[in-house]
Structure 1
Amino acid sequence: MKKKIKILLLINWHISYFSSENKSMQLSDQCFDKKYWFFKYFKEDVEVDVIDTRSLKFIEHFEKKHLRIYIMQTLRILNRIKNYDIIISHGTTSAIFLDFIRQCFKKKTPPHIVIDISSFHQASAKGIIFKLCQFASKSIDCLVYHTPKQGEYFDEQFPWLKEKKEFISFGVDEEYWSKKSFSRIRKEKYIVCVGYRLRDWDTLIKAYQKSNKKYKLVLIGNPDLNICDEMIEVKPFIPVKELMDYIYGAKFSILPLDSYNFSYGQMTLLQQMAMGKVILLSDVPPVESYVSEGLFRYKAKDVADLTKKLNELYSIDENKIMYLGKVNKEKCKTEYSERKMALELEKTIINVLRR
């Protein structure tokens, strides 16, 4: 009889702990058993202990806003680290202090896999934190990343990780985002843009105002936008169920991402693909590897190109929009699912444990 693989997972966000599943929350935001989130898809029998970043508020605030390294999280687990077969850090902010200790003191620990979202310190190539990341990263056993362009950065700035890095496409729980009953939140036709940070609203708003504005534009997530245009509606953060209703009722969605060499925007993109939405997105590194007939791209920061693409999408008839949305939904299910991501990560874990 195979023994369970005991995994210690360090994450750089807060989760809620329950005795059973809370159906109103995504699995990444709750822990109710020893599998947690995408580990439920693993074929191997695993037991996962999840440690989030919570600490004294002022300490956590300082770690998050200034250090961008979670020190207290690592200190909380050091005395029991040998109880596990493998450690996984989701985000280098939750990994670097542990790897610093491993590298500095040659401390023996289980193998450490890092899922890098931010290209260490937001793909920087100078500064104290960057140098610290370089030093600490030499003890990483495997580096997983979700944006192909990150690989070039790692090869240039962290060449010792060249044989230890592995690209795995990010995936979402397509069932959570598609197998629900949705409500049409309004009768008028509209298009939607979702996001609260790292969005190029300036280019989007200028392009939209130059377009023929066939549909109203609803911007969800950033209440600080101040726009005097009756065809543009700004909404703050809203509950997930209401957000789904807005996405469901939209003619199509726009994702105006800024260009950075780290992983972001992919979750928003795939959630909307899972819901069967046609998406117009900027052509930037974080989403360049996601390909589908129902994805349309414009040149980042190019108002004229975005205006042109908006007008082209306005003119597509309803049947074609529905067809392209279904293509996106199927693509998410077969190529960009949480299950596929999990099974690829499981193979990586097994390979690391066999070394």
Structure 2
Amino acid sequence: MKRTPQLDFFRGLLLLLITVDHALLLNNIVRRFTYEFVGWVSAAEGFVFLSGLTAGIVYTHKANEKGTQVLPGLALKRARTIYRNHIVLLLFVCASILGSSLLREYWLTSYAPLAKQPILAFIMGSLLVYQPPFLDILPMYAILILLVPFVITWFQRGYIWQVLLGSLALYLVSSLNELFNLFTLPFHGHQLNTKYFSLPSWQILFILGLFIGFLFYKGKTQKWQVNKSLFYTALTISTAIFILKNIHAELPFINIEYATDKSNLGPLRLFNFITICYVVIYISFKRAHWFTYKPICYLGKYSLEVFSFHVFLLILLLPIKMQFNTLYSVQLNQHFFFYPLGTLFVFLGILPLLFLAPTLLGKTRRPAPPILHEPPVVQ
């Protein structure tokens, strides 16, 4: 059994996009083409979905090979690894802000609780209550991984629709009521940032990924992967949404801001992701060899290490990038600038360093996630 290089490729590509989007200023014209360019979809949605898809393949294989009783132990071990990375990053950010006046000045707005009350903020961060920028993905991932044994076991027992409907119900309740944004604890005038991503909303992407990974391992996805009618329908819808977004159109009786909200995964954003995702799946199944570039696959193979390392790099290097931005910039219009030096620093300085992550974090070898068979290349 071999890895699926296409999964590694897309995870690696999404990690690159996430790093670029985190590193570039909002008004940098380059970011206009890396963040939500094709619609109301960002790399984060794809990364969460692919994490579920990969887990669906791996844990279904383990369940078939050794029984579902081994899944909780595997999930707990993985969740501990993710949580450990989160704690290390939290300590690193805290130490950086407290130990360097330059970093403190640059990051004070984003990490005010860590600067003002570091011990309390660290405790709250360890409890996954305080989740500031860059430190909100891993806690969500750790919690979702703990759900995998239950979901795969229910899938194996035939409770597929019950799981999917339960996930949808949780998503709807969360999206409509926002009952889960409960913490607003003050830190010297600053509000405690509990999270950006709403877990009850974003879990639906992970569960969908688990479902498709489960079906893929069982060999039940080939027919819809090459369904031309579905492909052209999804492509048409994706194109329409792309046009709608870029002409800034307003729809009657629809609150676009709510429907496309990222933190709560608005319904139009979710629908947009599903259509784009199917277009990508169809093309990658038809032309699998297009998505096997080894350097990008390498990043995807060690996604946890690369994601964690990108946070280290951002904390240390973004203040330097900002200095490059101030040296030279070009104002294109009232909304966008081009920062040639800062942009080059991101693409030629920060991105190449991501390839050091597996070596520096001591993960140069890892068992390959198994699949049932090689995905055939349909001509």
Higher relative CO (CA 8 A, sep ≥ 6), structure 1 or 2?
Answer: 2
TM range (shorter): under 0.3
Q: TM-score, normalised by structure 2?
A: 0.24
Indicate the structure with greater strand content.
1
Indicate the structure with greater helix content.
2
